[in-house]
């Protein structure tokens, strides 16, 4: 049956038919049924590393940085030439990459971080196509308003088969460097990367109730209480691990501290 007068096809602007609650355009074939497969195809794995997380937390690192360090140790194996976007000299995670034989340059829009290349990430990148074997994008994407542009540019400058590694926080206060725009879920990350042309997307989540609490104790090493912090953090991460096992990951998935993503061009 013909639809109400206020309805029109969003593709060809013709009148549409209303079949039950579904809009169908007799001119171009448009149908309003949504694509449910997009939601179903977003796998995410839980990072299960209570000991390693506790070690990093006991050094005084925040929970998202501790999560990042563990993921870098486990998953990043750089070779060739890499670019680290949004980073300056000697970031904390380089301690886990120094033994690999690779070249890297840093690029950032903040001159205070002293990058190799000072550039605006929201403008076209000053690099040739298929230049780099890998890209690091750690704790940066939430600070970029035009995130689709950044992902498109990364895809352009990566060689075929090149690796992109991403870390984004989820449970963290609003912060600067320079502005804080977004928080991403694994659903949005998977879809954004797929739309940009990336493949072999693996997403890891870290989190749970007690890892949230561990952020409150990150100041203890400054008071000489490191020997207290490690067993405390290990206990909290252990509780999260047990709750995750009992709930089949339900609470950890719903309370992530952040995500680590590995994908290929």
Instruction: Select the more confidently predicted residue: 5 or 101.
Output: 101
Phi/psi at 22 (5° precision): -110, 130
With the CA atoms of 241, 243, 245 and 251 taken in that order, what torsion angle do they form, in degrees rounded to the nearest 10? -100
pLDDT in tens, 187-227: 999 999 999 999 999 999 987 777 766 655 554 545 445 55
Is 142 a residue whose pLDDT tops 70?
Answer: yes
* Pick from 263, 122, 131, 142: nearest CA to 197: 263
pLDDT in tens, 123-134: 999 999 999 999
CB 224 within 8 Å of CB 179:
no
What does pTM read for this prediction? Answer: 0.85
pLDDT value of position 217: 57
Task: Give SS3 for 154.
Answer: helix
- What domains are defined for the chain? 1-33 (no CATH), 42-264 (3.40.50.150)
Average pLDDT, the chain: 86
Question: CA angle 250-164-71, nearest 5°?
Answer: 45
């Amino acid at each position: 049956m013909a639809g109400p007068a206020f309805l029109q096809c969003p593709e060809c602007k013709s009148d549409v038919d209303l079949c039950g609650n579904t809009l169908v355009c007799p001119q171009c074939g448009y149908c309003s049924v949504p694509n449910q497969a997009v939601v179903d195809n977003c796998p995410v794995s839980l990072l299960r590393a209570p000991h390693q997380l506790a070690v990093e937390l006991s050094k005084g690192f925040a929970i998202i940085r501790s999560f990042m360090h563990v993921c870098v140790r486990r998953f990043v194996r750089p070779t060739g030439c890499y670019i680290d976007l949004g980073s300056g000299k000697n970031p904390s995670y380089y301690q886990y990459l120094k033994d690999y034989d690779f070249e890297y340059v840093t690029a950032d829009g903040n001159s205070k971080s002293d990058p190799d290349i000072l550039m605006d990430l929201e403008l076209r990148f000053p690099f040739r196509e298929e230049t780099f074997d890998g890209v690091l994008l750690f704790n940066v994407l939430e600070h970029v308003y035009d995130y689709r542009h950044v992902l498109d540019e990364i895809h352009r400058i990566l060689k075929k088969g090149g690796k992109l590694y991403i870390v984004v926080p989820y449970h963290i206060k609003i912060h600067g460097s320079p502005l804080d725009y977004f928080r991403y879920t694994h659903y949005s990350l998977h879809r954004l990367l797929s739309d940009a042309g990336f493949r072999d997307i693996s997403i890891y989540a870290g989190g749970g109730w007690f890892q949230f609490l561990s952020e409150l104790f990150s100041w203890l090493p400054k008071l000489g209480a490191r020997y207290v912090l490690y067993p405390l953090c290990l206990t909290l991460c252990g509780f999260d691990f047990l709750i995750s096992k009992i709930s089949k990951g339900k609470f950890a998935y719903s309370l992530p501290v952040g995500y680590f993503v590995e994908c290929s061009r």
